[in-house]
């Protein structure tokens, strides 16, 4: 009964904590349901500083290539693979989720895209010339049609040959087919040298519409299953598939680590404080900080991005230290004022320097960093305010305090290790020498290095692209104009150049909108080449003389030519929303800020330098997507470093103003710089290339390091207080290491980078804060 009686006061006085925690959870849930959380990565991207950079960013936001899915069906029987391919195409076409699904199967005569091309063939086809309607040319064409009518393809000849004897439609279809090297078997695409049926699909969802693309990928899986594949297997690659797999990998990592880290952290805090109310009390400021931060970002930006929310919550992990520091320094039975009097200055400086140090992110010019900066600053301030003005009443009521020290003298003996500061200096010197010897830090500008997509999947994607003969959009010419017509006219002027480059072997071919959709001027010129009705009727009569045709056999031809003379030109907005639209809109598009752009995309590129020089000689911009993306990342990484340094300078000023003790400030700064130097040296030794993610992680590590240094450097009134500080900071450090150490085991490179950086930084921070920030053994901090 004695043990039970001891628990009753804690249970009785702990209910305010329980109520406050419940209200905090309710508030956070309410906020998360009210704010606009977006996942479109376009909302995080900056505005490029150059025309190619802006174009690359626009393509990342809305580019058609981001919705491209490549499919391969492997199996032993080509006939069975063709059946599965046909069934999948029909299912995907009917789903409404795809703008384009191609498998090599020829569309039927009633296909809307085929009808569109056939109706406008005399405006779009390169075979439409004045010479094509001369009597000798017509007589030759009539003879060819007669041969088709007398063959097994007579039905096809009767349907198309009599209405299009000049072959305008076949020439147009050939231009649309391009120079594909895909093998055709049983009317379907197959990879060369293997039993693999191939399909190409483009989603209607934007490249960064995660939900829409996820639905499209799920539709592919369902279509394959519905086709009763038997022993056949499906290989799917492309950005939408990668996005789904990446989301699944990240979700799996987060769910697994959330459970493990929660169990470990709770166990650690229970061991230290012996009370579940401590866990509840620690959660209150953190939850309130997250809720306030989300509201602030919503108010400032009109939405909260999911990435900023996730990383912001990670950054606010530093606020877990605030209630731990308050409870860890409290003596049992002590009034709140007494605890705050002893730690108040260090606590206030830790909050001020951490929040002001992060304000630089607000002015980085990178929307993602700006949201993250605002989220972190507001969250830190609110969590600190809750710790300072709300939590004391709760912890005093429940009498929360750490377990009494069994052997303070033993813990204080650890302080003698400060006599080894010289070793710490030597380690820093060694780290600096190593960085100099290794050539400094290494930077990562290739965003794919952080991709959670396995290398095997990337290799499979490259194989499918090669088998399909898909153009490489990694490099392209960029043709700009005031409107679509201006772009198409410029592109038409490039066609002879591209044909010459292909003949010279610099490229195997090219995708360009002007081959598919001529300019209005060209279409009108082709209309002008069409003979008048009476003149054409006379020519047809002369050409069919002596041939076994009825007098009215070519009436469909005469009617279609007469109708084509008055058809309106076909523009980008007149191509529907099917296969034709998908092809045209991938190559010809409006751009933000006004104007239009057209892409010249090479296939089988063999001499990039020659192509680049030729295009630039015609005033066409050269876009290397990889290089431009790398330059954008490098630019904003440099900006982030500058603001990181500016935040550090602000923190130094705050420390000087708050302590008015330059020597103490020097010790604090020395400990943080030493921890940062050793962390960077370790990252270099592990051959980790630094990205903007590492900068965010370093800011977090610097924040916790600042907390450690401030509390080690504050005036310690007695031995018991010094022992209490040491134990509390070790607990804070173990919480950080436990949480972020698990991140270092993730499969997702981005999460792994954060974990490795923070763990190294946190361990280095507490070691150097202990060695450099605290007073020498036998001395009290002043």
pTM: 0.70
505 domain-assigned: no
* Whether residues 430 and 319 fall in one domain: no
- For 337-370, write each residue's pLDDT tens digit: 888 888 888 888 888 887 876 776 676 666 777 8
Which has more confidence, 47 or 69?
69
Percent of the chain with pLDDT over 90: 28
Q: Are residues 349 and 430 in the same domain?
A: no
* Structure token pair of residue 136: 């000798």
Query: What's the pLDDT score for residue 2?
Result: 35
- Are residues 370 and 288 part of one domain? yes
DSSP of 155-190: HHIIIIITT-TT-HHHHHHHHHHTT---EEETTEEE
The whole-angstrom distance between residue 667's C-alpha and the CA centroid of its chain comes to 41
What does 54-68 look like in DSSP terms, one character per residue?
HHHHHHHHH-GGGGE
CA–CA separation, 43 vs 46, rounded Å?
8
Q: Of 120-124, 600-604, 772-776, which range is least confident?
A: 772-776
Q: What is the pLDDT of residue 631?
A: 72
Structure tokens given for 711: 């509390």
What is the DSSP code (8-state) at residue 624? E
Q: What integer pLDDT is reported at residue 660 of this predicted model?
A: 82
More confident residue, 153 or 770: 770
In a domain, 647, yes or no: no
Higher model confidence: residue 266 or residue 257? 266
Distance between CA atoms of 421 and 771, rounded to whole angstroms? 6
Is 435 found in the same domain as 354?
no
Residues 386 and 433 in one domain: no
Helix (H) or strand (E) holding 545: none
> Looking at residue 346, which CATH number applies to its domain?
1.20.1640.10
Tens of pLDDT, residue by residue over 472-523, are: 557 888 898 999 999 999 999 999 999 999 999 888 888 899 998 999 999 9
**pLDDT computed for residue 782 by the predictor:** 41
- Cβ atoms of residues 249 and 472 within 8 Å: no
Same domain for 666 and 782, yes or no, is yes
Q: Report how many domains make up the chain.
A: 2
Q: With 0-12 CB in 10 A as exposed, 13-18 as middle and 19+ as buried, what is 565?
A: middle
Predicted pLDDT at 574: 87
Per-residue pLDDT band at 576 (split at 50, 70, 90): confident
Q: In terms of domains, do 308 and 376 share one?
A: yes
pLDDT in tens, 723-751: 888 888 888 888 888 878 877 887 777 77
Confidence of residue 8 (pLDDT cuts 50, 70, 90): very low
pLDDT (0 to 100) of residue 781 = 45
Is the separation of the CB atoms in 491 and 592 below 8 Å?
no
CA distances to 343, 708, 775 from 712, in Å: 11, 6, 8
According to DSSP, the residues that pair with 624 across neighbouring strands are: 475
Sheet strands (E) in 58-156: 68-74, 98-102
Last residue of a domain, one of 404, 422, 450: 404
- Scan for tokens 């029909």, then name that residue: 90
Mean pLDDT, residues 401-427 taken together: 73
Mean pLDDT, the chain, rounded, equals 82
| Same-domain check for residues 317 and 380 | yes
- Return the pLDDT at 329: 84
Task: Tally the C-alpha atoms within 13 A of residue 737's C-alpha that lie toward its C-beta.
Answer: 15
CA–CA distance, 588 with 547 (Å, rounded to integer): 45
How far apart CA 104 and CA 579 sit, in angstroms, is 12
In the block, tokens 């369902």 appear at 222
**What is the DSSP code (8-state) at residue 275?**
-
| Same structural domain, 334 and 418 | no
pLDDT digits (tens, 9 = 90+) for 71-94: 999 998 889 999 999 999 999 989
Instruction: Give yes or no for a contact between 688 and 756, defined as CB atoms under 8 angstroms apart.
Output: yes
Contact criterion met (CB below 8 Å) for 480 and 622: no
> Does a structural domain hold residue 4?
yes
Is 584 a domain residue? no
pLDDT tens-digit map of 287-340: 999 999 999 999 998 888 776 777 777 767 778 888 988 888 888 888 888 888
**Strand-pair partners of 74:** 196, 233
**Beta carbons within 8 Å of 459's beta carbon, 6+ residues apart:** none
Residue pair 398/10 in contact by the 8 Å Cβ criterion: yes
Q: Looking at the structure, do residues 777 and 737 belong to the same domain, yes or no? A: yes
Residues 431 and 397 in one domain: no
Contact 768, 424 (CB under 8 A): yes
Instruction: Say what the pLDDT of residue 239 is.
Output: 81
How far is 775 from 778, CA to CA, in rounded Å? 8
Dihedral-angle region of residue 779 (phi above 0 means left; psi in -120 to 50 means alpha; beta otherwise): beta
In a domain, 180, yes or no: no
427 phi, psi to nearest 5 deg: -65, -40
286 or 179: which leads in pLDDT:
286
- Between 43 and 378, the more confident residue is 378
Greatest mean pLDDT among 110-124, 632-646, 754-768 lies in 754-768
Domain stop point among 404, 426, 452: 404
Residue 53 has pLDDT above 70, yes or no: no
Residue 564 has pLDDT above 90, yes or no: yes
In this prediction, residues 35-61 reach a mean pLDDT of 63
pLDDT for the residue 766? 92
CB proximity list for 216: less than 8 A, separation 6 or greater: 67, 69, 95, 97, 98, 201, 203, 204, 205, 240
* Domain end marker among 379, 404, 429: 404
366, 306 contact by CB (below 8 A): no
Local confidence band at 403 (pLDDT 50, 70, 90 cut-offs):
low
3-state secondary structure labels for all residues of 316-356: HHHHHHHHHHHHHCCCCCCCHHHHHHHHHHHHHHHHHHHHH
| Inside any domain, residue 606 | no
Q: 676 and 747: one domain?
A: yes
Length of the chain: 782
Distance CA 669, CA 773 (A): 8
Provide the Cα torsion 712, 717, 719, 723; round to 10°: -40
**Domain contains 568:** no
Q: In terms of C-beta density within 10 A (0-12 exposed, 13-18 middle, 19 or more buried), how is residue 439 classed?
A: exposed
367 within a domain of the structure (yes/no): yes
Q: Show the domain range for 395.
A: 1-34+274-404
Residue keyed to tokens 């809720």: 291
């Amino acid at each position: 009964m004695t043990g039970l009686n001891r628990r009753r006061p804690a249970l009785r006085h702990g209910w305010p904590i329980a109520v406050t925690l419940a209200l905090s959870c309710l508030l956070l849930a309410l906020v998360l349901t009210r704010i606009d959380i977006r996942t479109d990565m376009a909302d995080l991207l900056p505005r490029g500083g150059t025309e190619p950079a802006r174009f690359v960013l626009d393509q990342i936001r809305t580019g058609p290539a981001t919705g491209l899915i490549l499919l391969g069906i492997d199996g032993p029987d080509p006939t069975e693979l063709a059946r599965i391919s046909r069934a999948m195409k029909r299912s995907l076409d009917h789903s409404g989720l795809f703008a384009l699904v191609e498998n090599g199967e020829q569309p039927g005569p009633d296909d809307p895209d085929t009808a569109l091309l056939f109706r406008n063939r005399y405006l779009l086809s390169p075979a439409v010339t004045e010479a094509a309607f001369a009597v000798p040319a017509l007589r030759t064409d009539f003879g060819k049609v007669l041969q088709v009518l007398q063959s097994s393809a007579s039905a096809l000849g009767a349907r198309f040959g009599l209405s299009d004897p000049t072959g305008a439609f076949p020439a147009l279809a050939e231009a649309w087919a391009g120079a594909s090297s895909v093998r055709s078997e049983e009317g379907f695409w197959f990879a060369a040298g293997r039993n693999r049926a191939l399909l190409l699909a483009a989603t209607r969802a934007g490249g960064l519409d995660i939900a829409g693309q996820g639905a499209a990928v799920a539709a592919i899986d369902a279509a394959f299953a519905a086709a009763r594949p038997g022993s056949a297997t499906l290989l799917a690659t492309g950005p939408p598939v990668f996005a789904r797999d990446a989301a699944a990998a990240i979700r799996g990592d987060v769910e697994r680590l959330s459970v493990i880290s929660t169990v470990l952290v709770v166990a650690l805090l229970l061991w230290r404080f012996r009370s579940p109310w401590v866990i509840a009390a620690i959660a209150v400021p953190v939850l309130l900080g997250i809720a306030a931060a989300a509201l602030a970002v919503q108010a400032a930006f009109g939405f909260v991005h999911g990435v900023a929310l996730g990383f912001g919550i990670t950054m606010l992990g530093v606020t877990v230290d605030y209630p731990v520091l308050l409870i860890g320094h409290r003596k049992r039975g002590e009034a709140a004022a007494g605890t705050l009097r002893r730690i108040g200055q260090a606590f206030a400086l830790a909050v001020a320097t951490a929040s002001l140090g992060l304000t630089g992110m607000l002015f980085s010019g990178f929307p993602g960093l700006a949201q993250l900066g605002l989220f972190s600053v507001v969250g830190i301030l609110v969590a600190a305010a809750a710790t300072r003005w709300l939590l004391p009443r709760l912890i005093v009521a429940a009498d929360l305090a750490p377990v009494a020290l069994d052997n303070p003298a033993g813990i204080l003996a650890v302080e003698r290790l400060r006599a080894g500061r010289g070793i710490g200096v030597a380690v820093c010197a060694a780290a600096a020498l190593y960085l100099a010897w290794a050539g400094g830090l290494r930077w990562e500008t290739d965003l794919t290095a952080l991709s959670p997509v396995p290398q095997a999947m990337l290799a499979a994607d490259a194989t499918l692209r090669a088998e399909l003969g898909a153009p490489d959009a990694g490099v392209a010419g960029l043709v700009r104009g005031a409107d679509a017509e201006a772009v198409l006219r410029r592109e038409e002027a490039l066609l002879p150049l591209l044909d010459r480059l292909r003949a010279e072997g610099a490229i195997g071919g090219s995708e360009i909108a002007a081959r598919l959709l001529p300019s209005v001027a060209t279409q009108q010129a082709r209309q002008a080449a069409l003979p008048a009705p009476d003149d054409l009727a006379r020519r047809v009569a002369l050409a069919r003389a002596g041939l076994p045709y009825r007098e009215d056999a070519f009436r469909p031809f005469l009617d279609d030519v007469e109708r084509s003379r008055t058809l309106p030109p076909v523009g980008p907005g007149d191509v529907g929303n099917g296969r034709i639209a998908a092809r045209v809109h991938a190559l010809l598009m409006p751009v933000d800020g006004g104007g239009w752009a057209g892409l010249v995309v090479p296939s089988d590129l063999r001499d990039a330098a020659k192509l680049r020089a030729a295009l630039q000689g015609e005033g066409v911009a050269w876009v290397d997507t990889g290089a431009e993306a790398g330059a954008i990342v490098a630019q904003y990484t440099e900006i982030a470093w500058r603001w990181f340094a500016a935040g550090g300078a602000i923190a130094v000023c705050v420390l000087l103003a708050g302590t008015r003790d330059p020597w103490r400030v020097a010790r604090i700064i020395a400990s943080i710089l030493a921890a940062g130097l050793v962390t960077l040296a370790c990252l270099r030794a592990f051959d980790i290339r630094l990205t903007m993610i590492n900068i965010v992680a370093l800011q977090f590590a610097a924040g916790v390091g600042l907390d450690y240094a401030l509390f080690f450097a504050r005036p310690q009134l007695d031995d018991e207080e010094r022992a209490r500080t040491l134990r509390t900071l070790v607990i804070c450090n173990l919480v950080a290491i436990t949480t972020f150490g698990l991140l270092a085991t993730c499969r997702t490179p981005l999460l792994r980078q954060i974990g490795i950086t923070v763990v190294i930084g946190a361990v280095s921070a507490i070691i150097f804060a202990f060695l450099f920030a605290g007073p020498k053994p036998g001395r009290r901090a002043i």
